[in-house]
A and B are shown apart, each in its own frame.
Chain A
């Protein structure tokens, strides 16, 4: 056997791949499910916090700033481990899936709040005053005048951050979530062959490469005018 054959036999073994591709596909399903849940709940929670902050109630704002700083400072894996291995001591035992979802959603919430808030504060105060003087209420001003302008500004930084955090779903493997990396790792130890890991890596590229390229495009399209 030539060394090239040995290489393909080890890393791209057809028999192993044929046996384990359904496992990897199942992992892709779990990763996508987890990612969608994180993006939807994280962005909504972040927007909600930014809107509450716009009410300018001091003690509430301090609390929001603290929560945001907390989840920006802690590594996501530390939060996952804390929830999964720590909470059972308080008689709450979330599954690995829930722990990963909750952790990454909190992290995305924190980053999203910062970005939404920066977007809202970037709109000149005169716009608020003009809208209010035409008889619009606080809520109407926010949703009809401020947010449509603010959200456009937030799209590029928000896209990049969301992509980066969604890639964190791979961390779920540490707390036994059967997402792509988890399925690939266990298939690798069952078959004693790294081909499943190569399939997993390929699956990540198929999932995330289009997202990264789309992110690049969105960044250009919504770029700030200098």
Chain B
């Protein structure tokens, strides 16, 4: 059991490979999370436009990308686009696919946050002479983000976990590197190492979330 899942020799040998993967996982997360947040912010701000010409396409866009499994989107970009003469690397495909997917999720969350801020606040801000964008940036958004912080964190956790899909399109992130090490050593120890690393990194966030969520739901009973 120890020999096949926690083999010390293999742990030592595979460590540099797995750590290189961890580095790429962090890099990927640092690219995808801000991209998704920015996209979500644009979607959420567009949602406050009342015109049906904006509203309906926006809702369709968000629901479309929430209905699409991220892996399908990724494979579509990675394996489908080359037929149209457009060959993007695995890294770019992951970034684009997850930008579209998580942007929609972040968008929904931020929209709920903006909705939770009473409209009188915008009117008060506007009447003091702030422009629409200033009112949004200085008055509405800080409160909106505060109100949906648990959901934002929870989605960020999902995004970091999602980067493991990069392994399917040969992006050398944590899971991919672990599987490479596994196929070299004929031993599943590297995959266990990857799992332990994911757990150690994400556990504090899960604990924090669990507290925040419990408080949120309990407060509404």
Residues of A participating in the B interface, judged by any CB pair closer than 8 Å: 7, 10-11, 68-70, 72-79, 81-82, 85-86, 89-90, 114-115, 117-119, 121-124, 149, 153-154, 157, 163-164, 167-171, 173-174, 180-181, 185, 188, 193-194, 197-198, 200-201, 204-205, 208-209, 211-213, 216, 224-226
Cβ of B163: which chain A residues have Cβ within 8 Å of it? 75
Q: Which residues of B contact A10 (CB under 8 A)?
A: 83-84
> Contact check: which of A81, A122, A209 meets B217 at CB < 8 Å?
A122
Tally of contact residues, B, Cβ under 8 A: 51
Inside 8 A of B195's CB, which chain A residues have their CB? 74, 78-79, 82
CB distance from A121 to the nearest CB of B (A): 6
B41 to chain A, nearest CB (A): 20
Whether B63 and A209, one on each chain, are in contact in the complex, defined by CB atoms closer than 8 angstroms, is yes
Q: Residue A69 contacts which of B63, B207, B213 (CB distance < 8 angstroms)?
A: B207
- Do most interface residues of chain A lie in helix, strand or loop, or is the interface mixed? helix
Q: Is the CB of B221 within 8 A of A153?
A: yes
Main secondary structure of the interface of B (DSSP, over half): helix
User: Closest 8 interchain pairs by CB?
Assistant: A122-B221, A75-B161, A86-B188, A89-B4, A75-B164, A118-B217, A208-B67, A170-B69
The residues of B that contact A153 with a CB separation of less than 8 Å are 217, 220-221
- Do residues B221 and A75 form an inter-chain contact, with CB atoms below 8 A? no
* Chain A residues, Cβ within 8 Å of B218: 118, 121-122
**Inter-chain contacts of A194 with B (CB < 8 A):** 79-80, 83
